[in-house]
Amino acid sequence: MKRKLLPAWIVGIVVGAGAGYALNAFAQAKPDVLVKQRQAAMTLQGKYFYGQLRPMAQGKIPYDADQAARAAAFLEALSRMPWDGFVPGTRDVKSGALPAIYEQPGKFKEAQERAQAEISKLVALTKSGDEAAVKAQILVVNKACSACHNDFRERQ
Amino acid sequence: MKRKLLPAWIVGIVVGAGAGYALNAFAQAKPDVLVKQRQAAMTLQGKYFYGQLRPMAQGKIPYDADQAARAAAFLEALSRMPWDGFVPGTRDVKSGALPAIYEQPGKFKEAQERAQAEISKLVALTKSGDEAAVKAQILVVNKACSACHNDFRERQ
C-alpha cells in the first residue's frame, strides 16, 4: 500500500489556486486516492452500522451490549474520517457524491455534524446499560445518515 | 511541550475497542463484502500512517503534535477492524492475502498483535509531548506493519 504524494509543484498550484477552500497539510493525496479513502470510511461505517448496530435495533440479530459499545465507538471514529476527502479536486472522479456537496458546503457540513452528534449520543448511551435507549438512538442515527445521503449522494 | 488530555471520543475508541480479537456474531457478511471491508480498513490505515504519521517521522511534512495524536488514535481504532474479515470463506475472493494467513493462523495473530501493541505505545507517546519519541515509535510501527505484510500479503 504505497501512498503517492503529488509533486510539490502541483501542490503549489493547487494551494495557490485554491483560495477560499481549506486544504489541510495532508490533502496532497491524488483525487482518486482521496475518493478511495473516503469510500473506505463509508464502507466501514456500513460494516458497523448496517451490519451490526441497525440489525440489533431492529431485532434481526441478538442485542449484545459489548458489541454495541464497540461498534458505536468504531462508528464514531469512522464518522470523522471521510470529510477531508470531499474536496473540489475530486469532482471528476467517478463516485456517488453529488455536486450539492460543493455547491452547498455549509449544508453539507451541517449534515455531517448532525450525524456525528447523534453518533456521540449513541456512544454515551452504550455506556448506560439502557438497551431500549441504545436501540432508539441507533434509529435516530440511521435517520441522520439517510438525511445526508438523500441530499448529497446518488440514489443507490 | 504541552501535555494534553485526549478528547473524549479518542478515549471512547480505545475503551470501546478493548473487546479484542474474537470472531463475532456478525461474521455472516458475504465473502466479497468481508474482503471489501478489510481492504477498507487497510486503505484507511494507509491514509493515517503512510499519508500522515510516517512522512512526519521522516521529516517529509512538518510535525504537528495534534495531528499526530489524532492520526495515531484513528490508526489504533482501524488496526482492530480488519481481522474478522480474514476468514477461510474469503480465500477464493481475489485479494493480496496470502494462503499463509489460513495456514499459520497463530503466526498471523501474533503479527497483528505485535502491530497493535506498537500502535498502542504510539498513542501513549502522542500524549507525552515527546516529539522525538513519537517519531521513533512511528518507525517501529512501520516495521511491525511491514513484517506482517512480508509474510502474509502479496508483494506489491
Taking an 8 Å cut-off on Cβ atoms, the answer to whether B19 and A73 are in contact is no
CA A122 to chain B, closest CA, distance in angstroms equals 11
Q: What is the pLDDT of residue A156?
A: 82
pTM across the whole model: 0.84
Q: What is the pLDDT of residues B54-88, one digit of tens each?
A: 999 999 999 999 999 999 999 999 999 999 999 99
Q: What is the pLDDT of residues A91-127, one digit of tens each?
A: 999 999 999 999 999 999 999 999 999 999 999 999 9
- Mean pLDDT score across all residues of chain A: 87
**Predicted confidence band of residue A12 (pLDDT cuts 50, 70, 90):** very low
The grid coordinates listed for A121 are 449520543
Q: What is the pLDDT of residue B117?
A: 98
Closest chain B residue by Cα to residue A54: B26
Q: What is the pLDDT of residue B26?
A: 54
- In A1-134 the beta strands, taken as DSSP E runs, fall at none
Taking an 8 Å cut-off on Cβ atoms, the answer to whether B74 and A64 are in contact is no
Percentage of chain A beyond pLDDT 70 is 83
Structure-model confidence comparison of residues A22 and B70, the more confident one = B70
Q: What is the CATH code of the structural domain delimited by B29-86+97-152?
A: 1.20.120.10
Nearest to A122 by CA among A101, A103, A142, A151: A142
Give the whole-angstrom CA distance, residue B32 versus residue B85. 10
Q: What is the pLDDT of residue B120?
A: 98
pLDDT of A22 higher than 80: no
Taking an 8 Å cut-off on Cβ atoms, the answer to whether B64 and A36 are in contact is no
DSSP per-residue letters across B116-131: HHHHHHHHHHHTTT-H
Chain A residues in contact with B60 by the CB 8 A cut-off are: 5
Percentage of chain B beyond pLDDT 70 is 83
A120 → closest Cβ in B9, B40, B47: B9
**Predicted confidence band of residue B21 (pLDDT cuts 50, 70, 90):** very low
- Chosen CATH of A30-152 out of 3.40.710.10, 3.40.50.300, 3.40.640.10, 1.20.120.10: 1.20.120.10
Q: What is the DSSP letter of B99?
A: T
Q: What is the ipTM score, two decimals?
A: 0.84
Taking an 8 Å cut-off on Cβ atoms, the answer to whether B19 and A70 are in contact is yes
Calculate mean pLDDT across residues B50-57: 97
pLDDT of A71 higher than 80: yes
CA A115 to chain B, closest CA, distance in angstroms equals 14
Q: What is the pLDDT of residue B14?
A: 44
Where does residue B88 rank: exposed (0-12), middle (13-18), buried (19+ CB within 10 A)? exposed
pLDDT of A143 higher than 90: yes
Place of cell 493462523: B105
Taking an 8 Å cut-off on Cβ atoms, the answer to whether A47 and B37 are in contact is yes
Give the whole-angstrom CA distance, residue A33 versus residue A85. 9
Chain A residues in contact with B30 by the CB 8 A cut-off are: none
